[in-house]
Structure formats: structure tokens, C-alpha cells
Amino acid sequence: MDAVLAGSRAMVALAARSLSGLGEDITIAQYRTLVVLASRGPQKIADLAGQLDVTPPTAGRMCDRLVRRGLVARHRARDDRRVMRISLTADGRRVLDEVTRQRRAVIGSVLAGLSPQRQAGIAHALRDFAAAAGEIPDSEWPREPFEAIESPAAEASE
């Protein structure tokens, strides 16, 4: 357990470093919201809150901030116009892709100090750990077109 906790702290530190290099003020919680939307597609607030393990009001406030920044958008569900969904915008995807690029570079520099055998062992262990935690590998994320939202600011006020 101590090794996993220390590794988790190291990964959080690397995530924070990659976010700070972005030049935008994105928190780890906001980044996680973008990841959930990218990996699982548009979500109702209640479902998103469940994925983030926060209350729906907390998820709603976080989405309000991300809508104002143009990184996510609210839109009516196609199958039930009473239901609002949150989706990643093209700008949100660009931010997510840039953070991922920076994280790959930072993680790569850490891994470079290890032998290829140790790198392979870490990759195998982390793949199993991520799967057990319900994380969807980047290669399996949907690459569908983003919803065209006319006015994210107008959607935020609803």
C-alpha cells in the first residue's frame, strides 16, 4: 500500500506540473472532468458527478466554470429535450490533448532513468491498476465530432 500511495503522489505531482505548463488555470479536478467527458462521452450532470465522486451541485459549479471558459458545453439531449448534457468542446479537447502531450514528456523523462525491463514492469502494473480502477485507456476514447454549440455563454445561464 505504501508503494501505491507514494506512486500516486508522484503521479499527482506530475499531473500538476503538466497542468501548470499549460499557461491556463486548470485545476486537477477540472482536468479530470475533461478526461471523463473525453473518455465516456457527453454526460448528464448527475452521471458526471457520479464519475467524479462529487455531489451534483459540485459538478454543476465546476461545469459552470468550464462552460464560461469554452471547454465544455451544455446542450439538450437529442432523445429527450428535457435532459441537459455536458460535452467536451473542441477547445476542451485541445486543452486535454496539450496536457496529455506535456504529461507524456514529463513521465517520459522520469521513465528514462529506468531500465527497459523496469519500464515494462511499471507499464504492465499501471495498466492493470488503471483497469481495476475503471479507467479507460486513451486509445479507446471515442473520437466523435464535437457538438456544435451556438453560444456556450447562453447555455451557461440556463
Is residue 113 predicted with pLDDT exceeding 90? yes
Q: Is 85 within the bounds of a domain?
A: yes
Q: Is 2 within the bounds of a domain?
A: no
CB 72 within 8 A of CB 87: yes
- Three-state secondary structure readout of 5-60: HHHHHHHHHHHHHHHHCCCCCCCHHHHHHHHHHHHHCCECHHHHHHHHCCCHHHHH
Q: Is 99 within the bounds of a domain?
A: yes
Q: Is 1 within the bounds of a domain?
A: no
Q: Is 3 within the bounds of a domain?
A: no
Could you tell me the pTM of the whole model? Answer: 0.79
Is residue 112 predicted with pLDDT exceeding 80? yes
Give 5-59 pLDDT, tens digit per residue. 898 899 888 888 888 877 678 888 999 999 999 999 999 999 999 999 999 999 9
Q: Is 106 within the bounds of a domain?
A: yes
Is residue 108 predicted with pLDDT exceeding 90? yes
Q: Is 12 within the bounds of a domain?
A: no
Domain span holding position 92: 22-156
Is residue 122 predicted with pLDDT exceeding 60? yes
Q: Indicate which CATH number applies to the domain containing 149.
A: 1.10.10.10
- Three-state secondary structure readout of 65-82: HHHHCCCEEEEECCCCCC
Q: Is 5 within the bounds of a domain?
A: no
Number of domains in the chain: 1
